[in-house]
Amino acid sequence: MALEERPVGKLDRAVIFLGPPGSGKGTQAKELARQYGVPHLSTGDMLREHVSNGTPLGLKAKPIMERGELVPDSLVLKMVADRIERPDCEHGFVFDGFPRTVAQAKYLGEMLRRQGFKQPFVIHMVIPTSVLMKRLTGRRTCKQGGEIYNIYERPPKVEGICDNDGGELLHRPDDREEVVAPRLNAYEKLTAPLVQYYRRLGSLHDVDANRSVEEVRREIGQLVSAMRGTR
């Protein structure tokens, strides 16, 4: 669909959340997508679903994810391209965990241009490494509904059980202490250059993520509202 033909409404572009593991980008991305009624696209969730279902993609990705390494472009890009071509993405969508490299960002930018989307709006979650370690090693995820807890900062009422649906709370392999440090190192080496890439494009907006969820949500909401007002 050409740019001049794209309906006006919703976000009308991709909103990208950048930040290291544990920065809260997943929580904020889901909330923003809910507010605007657009899809929340997490390649991490997609990959974990493939792993759970034992698909060919999942079988390739599983050992890589368990080592805390980034899944290579060859296993991610086609999945992303197919997803954003679906009708529910027509009015925009929110990315969480993609792109992770400058090469992926350039590929995504070209895909978006071909489909008539405006330049992505990028939110950069800034947070100290010491805080990330506590957030990551304490994180637990509901097996049923995907609700996220933290045994240090936001524990469930009953240990190991989701407050919402009674589902089992899982400690993901890539959140264990022996994996966290390599994950953060991988982020710094391969993903942090995205900050400079998008900053040069004038698309990047820094957000202090070392605050309450509500404070961070409020600032993000203000940034996105301002972006939509200057479309």
Main-chain dihedrals φ then ψ at residue 161, nearest 5 degrees = -125, 135
The active-site residue out of 13, 139, 140, 217 is 139
- 228 given a catalytic annotation: no
Are 152 and 136 in contact, with CB atoms under 8 Å apart?
no
The active-site residue out of 30, 48, 140, 183 is 183
- 183 given a catalytic annotation: yes
User: How far is CA 101 from each of CA 30, 108, 117, 190, 194, rounded to the nearest angstrom?
Assistant: 22, 11, 20, 6, 6
Residue 191 corresponds to which amino acid?
T
The active-site residue out of 6, 60, 172, 199 is 172
- 154 given a catalytic annotation: no
Q: Using CA atoms, how far apart are residues 204 and 112, in angstroms rounded to an integer? A: 17
The active-site residue out of 100, 135, 140, 217 is 100
The active-site residue out of 13, 25, 30, 135 is 25
Catalytic residues: 25, 100, 139, 172, 183
